[in-house]
Chain A
Amino acid sequence: MERKIRVLIAKPGLDGHDRGAKVVARALRDAGFEVIYTGLHQTPEQIVSTAVQEDVDAIGLSCLSGAHMTLFPRVVELLRERGADDIIVSGGGIVPEEDVPKLKTAGIAAVFGPGTPLKDIVEFHKKALRKR
């Protein structure tokens, strides 16, 4: 059977806005993905542990609180510790332009700012299949 791509959509940090995350989750579902959605206020530890148990191919992080510079790289670091750094991590939310290169250096594969067309996010994840 064809492999199904699994994506974890997670919201680290303290902000309580998950509308964007839900819109992305639905777009990915409509594109045939299995989307694991875990709700608000997730710690990087929770996100990584969930990603391992769910054996996802990719993680989409959404953060509007401004704490992305600590939270996003922390997720990548913890994945590395668990030997799961082949999971592709992308980020969205409100990320200032100048932070993008730093996030990429820290291992965030893509940053999707507000207004990114959903189809770009879908296309990006179509290539996210992990090697087994």
Chain B
Amino acid sequence: MEIVERLLKGDAGAAARLISMAEDEDPRAVKALSALHAHTGKAQIIGVTGPPGAGKSTVIDQAVKVYRKKGCKVGILAIDPTSPFTGGAILGDRIRMQQHSTDPGVFIRSMGTRGWTGGLSKGTASAIKILDALGMDPIIVETVGAGQSEVEIVRSAHSVLIVEVPGLGDDIQAFKAGILEIGDVFVVNKADREGADKAVAELRAMLETCQEPRAWAPPVLKASARDGAGIGEVVDALDSHFAFIKQSGAKDLKDRASAEREFMEVLRDRLAKYITEKVVRKGEFDALVERILRRQLDPYSAAEKLLEPIEKGK
């Protein structure tokens, strides 16, 4: 496929188009993604989350600078919520990252959640693969920390960076409780403001009380992303975490779980498609519903009967 060849040669336009096709569930994307699979699995995937306005995009912007100095090519996926009412979205994370927009070693893509309540759009997993095949490493995924998305991000990321700010107070204890368990590195941003040291101390105390002692003790750092202070240390901590999980075997476990989940998802999709195409469209479904309704048939036996051809094929 031409688009795959172009992408593997480093063509950003090809990667960009493929991400759109994957997001729109264009059937051609499946072919391309299957050809790309062998070229993926190389990058460190970093999830960045935290409350709205904490400075996630600004932290990423500054971290990209550090990574570029080290010679890394960086991929960024910035995810914002899609309006459930209109299906539209304003994707504004790039505002903070514009200094990198003409750097060929940086690829930034904004994505809407498009109705995936998980906080990570279904296209995100595909986009990660595409950037991986494009040779981006690390790949940084920004999501706003709001409930479920934190859990989703931890599933696809090797390392999770939590961005906090001073003075959030007690009202977000619940938010913190959820986030404490998934963070590998914590940073209190906006340290130019009052209360940063207190916030760091509080977070450390909470980590100690809430978390089982782990082999990896998540560092709590301080940064002021607007002027770049402390961001070098954040990148160092993310590097150390990646080295740690590689060495401890945790990375292999994560990667295995991701592969399992992806495969299962593909299987489910295919099965759902089979049911829609072979059963619902052919009218068989309606006929069976009718019989179920009249108590001539029960749904369990009906399902068994329908799926017989698949099960026979095994």
Contacts and interface: CB of A to CB of B under 8 A. Distances in A.
B90 A46 contact: no
Contacts of B107: 53
A39 interface: yes
Nearest to A84: B13
A46 B91 CA distance: 17
B98 A54 contact: no
B19 interface: yes
B95 A53 contact: no
A86 B202 CA distance: 53
B148 interface: no
A50 B91 CA distance: 12
A108 interface: no
A53 B98 contact: no
A52 B12 contact: yes
Contacts of A6: 20
Interface stretch (A24-32, A59-67, A96-104): A24-32
Nearest to B82: A34
Given A29-B89, A34-B88, A35-B90, A2 B101 contact: no
Nearest to B99: A46
Q: How large is the interface on A (under 10, 10 to 19, 20 to 34, 35 or more residues)?
A: 20 to 34
Given A1-B25, A83-B13, A36 B110 contact: yes
A2 B114 CA distance: 11
B16 A54 contact: yes
B173 interface: no
Interface residues of B, number: 31
Given A46-B102, A49-B101, A55-B20, A36 B94 contact: yes
Given A29-B86, A32-B86, A37 B95 contact: yes
A54 B109 contact: yes
A108 to B, nearest CB: 22
Nearest to A27: B88
Contact of A39 (B20, B23, B98): B98
A37 B78 CA distance: 12
Nearest to A42: B98
A15 interface: no
Nearest to A57: B20
Given A4-B23, A32-B88, A38 B16 contact: no
Given A55-B16, A55-B19, A132 B88 contact: no
A34 B78 CA distance: 13
Contacts of A19: none
30 contacts: A2-B24, A3-B24, A6-B20, A29-B88, A29-B90, A30-B83, A32-B86, A32-B87, A32-B88, A34-B91, A34-B112, A35-B89, A36-B92, A36-B110, A37-B90, A37-B95, A38-B94, A39-B94, A39-B98, A43-B102, A49-B101, A50-B94, A50-B98, A50-B101, A53-B107, A53-B109, A55-B13, A55-B17, A55-B19, A132-B26
Interface of B: 12-13, 16-17, 19-21, 23-26, 82-83, 86-92, 94-95, 98, 101-102, 107-110, 112, 114
Given A31-B86, A36-B94, A38-B101, 18 more contacts: A1-B24, A1-B25, A3-B26, A4-B112, A25-B90, A34-B82, A35-B89, A35-B91, A37-B91, A37-B92, A37-B94, A46-B101, A50-B98, A50-B101, A53-B101, A53-B108, A132-B20, A132-B26
- Please name the 9 residue pairs, one residue from A and one from B, whose CB atoms are nearest each other, closest first: A29-B88, A39-B95, A55-B16, A1-B25, A32-B87, A55-B20, A46-B101, A32-B88, A37-B92
